[in-house]
Amino acid sequence: MASSTKAKRGPNGPKWRSDAATATLNDARGGTDDGGRPSASNSNPEKAMEQEKELEIVYSKDASSLDVAFDLLSILIVRYRLNRSDEVLDEIESKCIKEPFYKLRFHQSRAFVRYKQARYADCIKEFELQEDLIADGVAGACPGRDSDGFCHSIALNENIGHCLSSMNRLEDAEKRFTAALRLMQSAESEGVDVKETKDDIGGILVGLGLVKDRLGDAEGAVSVLQAAVTHYRKVYGEDGSTLIAKALTSLGRCKELIEKLDEAGGHFEEAVRIFDLRAGKGPLLAGALGHLGKNQLKRQQFKSATASLYSAVELEVQKDALDLNLIWELIEALKTCWIGLLNTKKAFAEPAAELGKRAAEMAMAKTPNDWKHHNGDLDSNIHGTTALIYMLGGEFAFAARDFEQARVHLGKAVQIFLRISGFECGSFLDACRKLQAALPAP
């Protein structure tokens, strides 16, 4: 992110804002690829990895430079290197709080990390600290608040809206998106060049669309989200930005809710293509592949769904901050695909079982093994998903006739299930033991 401030006119005269006050969650989610944004390099994952390595070297030699630290953070956050991002934030916190401008950037960066970690309550706290600084006019930001107590930053109101929406605080989220839209419309009426703010219009539309969806107005959500797609394509062309793919993904999810599965699948396919083109093999593509695979499964396209879901797992396990529940859901969907192929196209069932086995093995290689060294009962929230992944690994190994590995994975699943208290594991234990009993003698 740039460290300069830029002049901007608004509804009440000149508005000064810093880039730290106006970066959006879209920037942190993976890049717009249109130049001048923190994540532009994400269109080339190999280049982004090289940039990270280079910045790590510079940072190791000059850890006192906060500009270098924030350059490194911008790459780490985009690449979902969330554990490393937390380490850097911890290292620079004491320096940042002494200087208002860097304090502003610090709270924004930590908010982005917390959002990607799905720690939304913590994310809101960081955004609110950032809002206090902006309202106080820190680092050239426009001071003051509106009648609702909101600051005058379009992007920050949008960001808080997205976070509140993720927390299911839908009415509060709608107020924030509406405030952002009102600020933008007021700025435009004052003759502000909207070139720099077009991303915000699309982001606000996406946010409002998702709020409508969660309030049960799927038809209304589709209309707003389609407007966001149209807007982004007008700005960037048919496939010029990952923002188009993000809006298409949201649109596809709403189309599924109104049972337009084929149309939804088309949106997911297009999102996959754009993410692959503009962001490469990374977390954004992983999410789109997961949506596409689940959609193909709903349409009983079992072979295609297997390929999409396997590719999604392959990318999800590369994150340094794993979402084990999501990975389990993807592998469970792979199991449903395999069963579907057994019942419809048996010739494809064996290759599907092998892919499911590989997906489970990738996940098991990343699952935490602290349960082995933990004394006493295990926590279902922490270790239950690990056991379910081992169980799936055993089931797929059995289906692929790798009985030795099936025995190992099922044994680990049983060990964990037996040590989980306060959680009904009986059905899982029964399933594991029945499969164990069916294994041929070693």
Taking the chain (442 residues) in consecutive chunks of 10 residues, what is each chunk's mean pLDDT?
Answer: 28 32 60 33 68 93 90 93 96 94 96 95 96 88 89 92 95 94 86 59 92 92 96 94 96 96 98 96 95 98 98 94 92 98 94 97 89 86 92 97 97 94 85 97 87
For the chain, the helix, strand and coil percentages under 3-state DSSP, each to the nearest 5 = 75, 5, 25
CA distance 3 to 16: 13
What pTM, to 2 d.p., does this model score? Answer: 0.80
Whole-number pLDDT of residue 371 = 87
Q: Which positions ≥6 away from 204 have C-beta within 8 Å? A: 158, 161, 177, 180, 181, 184
Cα angle, residue 144 at apex, residues 23 and 95 outer, rounded to 5° = 55
Model pLDDT, residue 352:
97
pLDDT of residue 267: 98
Residue 6 amino acid letter? K
Pick the closest to residue 409 from 422, 399, 421, 423 (CA basis).
399
User: For residue 10, which phi and psi values (nearest 5 degrees)?
Assistant: -140, -170
Could you tell me if 278 and 241 are in contact, meaning their C-beta atoms sit under 8 angstroms apart?
A: yes
Q: What are the structure tokens assigned to 321, written together?
A: 């901050």
> Rounded to whole angstroms, how far apart are CA atoms 18 and 104?
9
353 within 8 A of 399, measured Cβ to Cβ: yes
pLDDT of amino acid 220: 93
Neighbour-count burial for 301-332, b at 16+ CB within 10 Å, e otherwise: bbbbbbbbbbbbbbbbbbbeeeebebbbbbbb
What per-residue confidence (pLDDT) applies to 209? 95
At residue 16, the 3 state secondary structure works out as strand
| pLDDT score recorded for residue 71 | 95
Backbone Cα Rg of the chain: 24
Q: Specify the 3-state DSSP secondary structure of 72.
A: helix
Do the beta carbons of residue 71 and residue 109 sit within 8 Å? no
